[in-house]
Structure 1
Amino acid sequence: MEFAGALRQAIQASGLTLERIRHRLAQRGLTVSVASLSYWQRGRSRPRSRAVVATLEEILRVPAGTLIELLDDPVPGAVPARGGHAAGRAGGVQQSSLGGAAGAGPELWPDPEGYARVVGQLDLSSEHRLERLSIHDLYLLGPDRRPRALVVREVLRATGDDVDRVVRVHPVDDPATGARPEPEPAGLRYCRSGRVRAESGLIGFELVFDRVLAAGDTVVIEYELSRPAGDYERRFPRPVRDYLAVVQFHAEMLPARCYGFSRETGDAPRRRLGELWIGASGSAHLALGDVRRGIVGIEWEWE
């Protein structure tokens, strides 16, 4: 049986309302909205935290592992969009959409404790009331093969009222390697910067929308980072309907090969999704639909 069907049956058998289940999760320190519970049992999205699912098993009084074992592979198979020329070091698609609390998604990061410290200093109150419709990343490399900038555009939709911001976290160059100040998001469009926190090779920041959203409202945000980390991978603690990653190489420094990859956690091995071709534009891209939970990226090999 699929996860959604098993969860739906367990909820019906328990006799509990979704609001009651939400309340019992909250009593255990887990913030999950009624809308999320509804999406899970209808198959529109999947839980991002195994701890939440384990607690659901306890609340619904089903045997341990009954629901966890039915969770889908976090990243669906991809049909890479072709485009290139291209080889060694790996890059990946970076940044993270956060979960509704500091504990949502830390296992997707190499340093979960550092991640938790960064997001613990930011306002995550709106995270569980935002649906990710699309994320488009443009990753620019210079002639020295090093990353020059990451440009991000997102389309979000509010699933509740009074939503005014979103939190984003990215790995950045280790500040210990140079005297440059910590980067801040630049090129902001349709939003403004809120609090910014950086440590452990991560930068986290709030992006405040240009208006307060009511349920059903959509918003577009755009921002840039001038000093992203060398690897290019994006972490998905929450589902995203449409994801596009474009890596733009310098015209005088093209890799020999380029691949898409996925992995389940920050310390899990990469699984290649297929070779990406680089065309006359000197870029490669990876287009995915209905990405659920996990990590997706692009890697390349230099000659």
Structure 2
Amino acid sequence: MEFAGALRQAVQASGLTLERIRHRLGQRGLPVSVATLSYWQRGRSRPRSRAVVAALEEILGVPGGSLTGLLETTEHGAHPVRHGGGSARSGAGRLDRGRAAGDLWPDPERYARVVGQLDRSGDHRLERLSTHDVYRLDAGRRPRKLSVRSVLRAAGDDVDRVVCVHPAGDGRPEAELTGLRYCRPGRVRAEEGLLAFELVFDRVLAAGDTAVVEYELDLGECPGAGPADEYTRRFARPVRDYLAVVQFHEEMFPARCYGFTGQTAQAPRERLGELWIGTSGSAHMVAGDVRFGILGLEWEWD
């Protein structure tokens, strides 16, 4: 049986409403909207978190593994990480562990303090369809600019913004949010190398509606700062398609570049293989069906 049919039968047998199921998941710290639960029952989408599905098994009173086991085909069939050389690695398919978003950051308390000042009420009702990053370095091998484009889809009604979090500062001037397209800035909060902000969509989304946001972070000039040796993206929520491009300055290419994954900020990294640096002076990595965790590129200078 497919997951959608098994979930639908379990819900019917339990006698619980979707609202009641949503409430019980929320009590466990697992926010899922009624619209999302409905989508799962009808096969319009599938859960990305095994932790949520395991909780559903308990709430619905079905045997452990009866629902999570039906996700295996999706997880094993997920698109692997691909990098500039074209070969595949399986690391990105293993990122979902149901952890807290703060685990992705070196200082979880600072992360919680900063994002706690922003409106994240609609975050769990947004599907991340794609995120594309371009990270640019200057001739001094220092970070200069980050350009981001994200495509999102609402899994519920009345969603009007998304919250973004980036490392910023770290011995440099605080990053400046610029270059916004198809959205406008909401609240912006920064603290000791961490920048978090709301991007307000150009319209309020209903379930199924999509939104595109583009922005840039001007990372400022700091002649005394040391050279950068990595770019890292943290995924607190699943993303179907991720692209990271690191653009090196035409006068300063690194000797080697690699992709990597990590489960948390404190966990050991796993290298995915060497990335090709083309004649454009860039390296890139592509990942599909990214779950919770960290992806990035790191490089070595001569």
* TM > 0.5: yes
1:14 Cα deviation from its structure 2 partner: 4.2
Distance in 2 between residues matched to 1:169 and 1:204, nearest whole Å: 4
Q: Which residue of 2 aligns with 1:218?
A: 210
Is 1:24 equivalent to 2:24 in the alignment? yes
Q: Which residue of 2 aligns with 1:183?
A: 175
Is 1:78 equivalent to 2:84 in the alignment? no
Of 188, 191, 216, 1:199 maps to 191
Letter in 2 for 1:205: F
Q: How does 1:81-92 map to 2 (within 5 A)?
A: 81-82=84-85
Contact 1:190 1:222 in 2 (8 A): yes
1:63 Cα deviation from its structure 2 partner: 7.8
Q: Which residue of 2 aligns with 1:91?
A: none
1:233 Cα deviation from its structure 2 partner: 1.2
Distance in 2 between residues matched to 1:8 and 1:115, nearest whole Å: 37
CA change 1:113–1:212 in 2 (3 A) is same
CA change 1:5–1:198 in 2 (3 A) is farther
Distance in 2 between residues matched to 1:194 and 1:184, nearest whole Å: 14
Count of paired positions? 278
1:38 Cα deviation from its structure 2 partner: 5.1
**Structure 1 residues 56-95: Cα deviation after superposition (integer angstroms, max 9, x where no partner):** 455345688998898869x963122339xxxxxxxxxxxx
Percent of matched pairs sharing the same residue: 70
Letter in 2 for 1:44: R
CA change 1:107–1:65 in 2 (3 A) is farther
Which is further off, 195-204 or 58-67? 58-67
Q: Which residue of 2 aligns with 1:283?
A: 282
Q: How does 1:207-286 map to 2 (within 5 A)?
A: 207-227=199-219, 230=228, 231-286=230-285
CA change 1:253–1:30 in 2 (3 A) is same
Q: Please, what is the CA RMSD of the aligned residues?
A: 3.3
Distance in 2 between residues matched to 1:60 and 1:118, nearest whole Å: 36
SS in structure 2 of the partner of residue 45 of structure 1: coil
Which residues of structure 1 form unaligned runs of 5+?
84-98
Distance in 2 between residues matched to 1:104 and 1:166, nearest whole Å: 18
CA change 1:202–1:67 in 2 (3 A) is farther
Distance in 1 between residues matched to 2:40 and 2:48, nearest whole Å: 5
1:280 Cα deviation from its structure 2 partner: 0.8
Which is further off, 208-217 or 10-19? 10-19
**Structure 1 residues 7-44: Cα deviation after superposition (integer angstroms, max 9, x where no partner):** 77865664534332112223455422134445667572
Contact 1:82 1:285 in 2 (8 A): no
Contact 1:262 1:271 in 2 (8 A): yes
CA change 1:209–1:32 in 2 (3 A) is same
Distance in 1 between residues matched to 2:266 and 2:192, nearest whole Å: 16
Contact 2:244 2:285 in 1 (8 A): yes
CA change 1:53–1:209 in 2 (3 A) is same
SS in structure 2 of the partner of residue 113 of structure 1: helix
SS in structure 1 of the partner of residue 82 of structure 2: coil
Contact 1:76 1:292 in 2 (8 A): no
Letter in 1 for 2:112: A
**Structure 1 residues 107-139: Cα deviation after superposition (integer angstroms, max 9, x where no partner):** 122211111111110001221221111111000
SS in structure 1 of the partner of residue 47 of structure 2: coil
Letter in 2 for 1:219: A
1:286 Cα deviation from its structure 2 partner: 0.7
**Bigger relative contact order (CA 8 A; separation at least 6):** 1
Is 1:138 equivalent to 2:134 in the alignment? yes
Which is further off, 139-148 or 229-238? 229-238
Contact 2:127 2:155 in 1 (8 A): yes
Of 113, 117, 127, 2:113 maps to 117
